[in-house]
Amino acid sequence: MKLNLAVLPGDGIGPEIVNVALNVTKAVCKKFGHELTYQEALVGAIAIEKTGNPYPQETHDLCMKSDAVLFGAIGDPKYDNNPAAKVRPEQGLLKMRKDLGLYANIRPVATFPSLLHKSPLRAELVEGADFMCIRELTGGLYFGRPQGRAEDGNTAYDTCIYTREEVERILHLSYKFARQRNKKVTIVDKANVLATSRLWRQIGQEIAPQYPDVETEFMFVDNAAMRIIQWPKSFDVMVTENLFGDILTDEASVITGSLGMLPSASIGIHTSVFEPIHGSYPQAAGKDIANPLATVLSAALMFEYAFDLQEEGKLIRDAVTASMEAGVVTEDIACGGKAYKTSEVGEWLVKFVG
């Protein structure tokens, strides 16, 4: 099969971890006889520095003609500490989501036995937890207009908007995933207060009977935030709107013990983007110490979701599990044992695959 990728390393540790994921991808392609072509492009703070634009047209054109996008991270403290900055790396991310039509952000939350002791929750609560958050990514408060400040500067407003089409699209996707998993969908909203949430709930009630084999549960977002830490094992597929999803996926990600392990896929109308959920970790940039496994697992999702190459995805997952069992891991998850460099972990994974 021909695989044509756009590679967007971005900022901070992005280039190092994407390099590892790309090497693993190359090794998998070689092993299974796939023809891999790829091209790199700028995004984030580095793109602002070089072009003045955090998501240059050139990068967008490349993404549009690629089969999938492998993405590192964006963000630079320089911009975080300057609220007056006119252009920010995050704007590039939002523009990419909108322009590529990345409507569903999928974050699988799975625990690794060897990391249970790192979870902020008691091991018996998290052991075996395995669910998937599906966050709507191109609607809601992030994109609703009007947004701004009244002329006197003392009043500000955002607008939350959802259309039937947007809600139906993501709910159907959630049921499809649930059918391949444990057949339960939890639709998270705030229907006791918000009009958009009531639309979500109404559409959920209409769609649920079309999937009689899947259990549907409705839950208010405040209750969901509580349940994620009280009983994470009760979830299978959780689906929610953009801002709720932003918050809940951060919460869900830490219960596994390491942010450095969690991949994500953003399913798009045109092309899909695969990226680790951790950020650009600027303090570690260039030190060869960042954990590359979330990005490597994102490459596994890429094989599975973008190319429907299940065996290839599984080989990558097996490699990651084996590296953890062998203790060939970076300092953030090296419990007492020797800590390996990012590049050393990468070399080990490539050898395992090959």
Please identify every residue annotated as catalytic. 142, 190, 222, 246, 250
Q: Which residue has the tokens 């054109």?
A: 61
Q: Contacts with Mg ion: how many residues (CB under 5 A)?
A: 1
Minimum distance, C-beta of residue 5 to Mg ion, in the bound complex (Å): 24
Minimum distance, C-beta of residue 95 to ligand IPM, in the bound complex (Å): 11
Minimum distance, C-beta of residue 275 to ligand IPM, in the bound complex (Å): 8
Q: Which does 127 bind (CB under 5 to 8 A by kind): Mg ion, ligand IPM, none?
A: none
Q: Which does 90 bind (CB under 5 to 8 A by kind): ligand IPM, Mg ion, none?
A: ligand IPM
Question: What mask of x and - would describe binding to ligand IPM in positions 72 to 91, judged by CB under 6 A?
Answer: ------------------x-
- CA distances (Å), origin 218, targets 60, 161, 204: 37, 20, 8
Closest to Mg ion by CB, 216 vs 249, is: 249
Closest to ligand IPM by CB, 49 vs 250, is: 250
Minimum distance, C-beta of residue 248 to Mg ion, in the bound complex (Å): 10
- CA distances (Å), origin 195, targets 198, 202, 235, 238, 253: 5, 11, 25, 20, 28
Minimum distance, C-beta of residue 151 to Mg ion, in the bound complex (Å): 31
Find the Cα–Cα–Cα–Cα dihedral 143, 144, 150, 151, rounded to 10°: 60
Interacting residue with ligand IPM among 246, 251, 331, 344 (CB under 6 A) = 246
Q: Contacts with ligand IPM: how many residues (CB under 6 A)?
A: 3
Closest to ligand IPM by CB, 18 vs 319, is: 18
- CA distances (Å), origin 159, targets 89, 93, 105, 156, 270: 22, 20, 21, 11, 26
Minimum distance, C-beta of residue 309 to ligand IPM, in the bound complex (Å): 26
Task: Using DSSP, state whether 7 is helix, strand or coil.
Answer: strand
Q: Which does 347 bind (CB under 5 to 8 A by kind): ligand IPM, Mg ion, none?
A: none
Strand partners, 92: none
Rounded Cα distance, 317 and 299, in Å:
10
For residue 158, state whether it binds ligand IPM (rule: CB under 6 A). Answer: no
DSSP string of 222-291, one letter each residue: HHHHHHHHH-GGG-SEEEE-HHHHHHHHHHHHHTTS-GGG-EEEEEESS-EEEEESS---GGGTTSS-S-
Closest to ligand IPM by CB, 99 vs 246, is: 246
Q: Which does 93 bind (CB under 5 to 8 A by kind): Mg ion, ligand IPM, none?
A: ligand IPM
Closest to ligand IPM by CB, 263 vs 346, is: 263
Q: Name the residue with the smallest CB distance to ligand IPM.
A: 90
Q: Which does 67 bind (CB under 5 to 8 A by kind): Mg ion, ligand IPM, none?
A: none
Dihedral (CA of 325, 327, 330, 332) sign: positive
Closest to ligand IPM by CB, 67 vs 251, is: 251
Instruction: Confirm if 265 and 134 have CB atoms less than 8 A apart.
Output: no
Q: Which does 344 bind (CB under 5 to 8 A by kind): ligand IPM, Mg ion, none?
A: none
Rounded Cα distance, 77 and 330, in Å:
23
Query: Which stretches of 78-129 are assigned E, i.e. beta strand?
Result: 102-110
Tokens of 27: 């090794």
Q: How many Cβ atoms sit within 10 Å of the Cβ of residue 37?
A: 11
End-to-end C-alpha distance for the chain, whole angstroms? 18
Rounded Cα distance, 7 and 298, in Å:
13
Closest to Mg ion by CB, 204 vs 245, is: 245
Looking at residues 219 to 278 of the shown chain, list those that interact with Mg ion (rule: CB under 5 A): 246
Q: Name the residue with the smallest CB distance to Mg ion.
A: 246
For residue 93, state whether it binds ligand IPM (rule: CB under 6 A). Answer: yes
Rounded Cα distance, 192 and 277, in Å:
30
Q: Which residues of this protein are in contact with Mg ion, per CB under 5 A?
A: 246
Q: Which residues of this protein are in contact with ligand IPM, per CB under 6 A?
A: 90, 93, 246
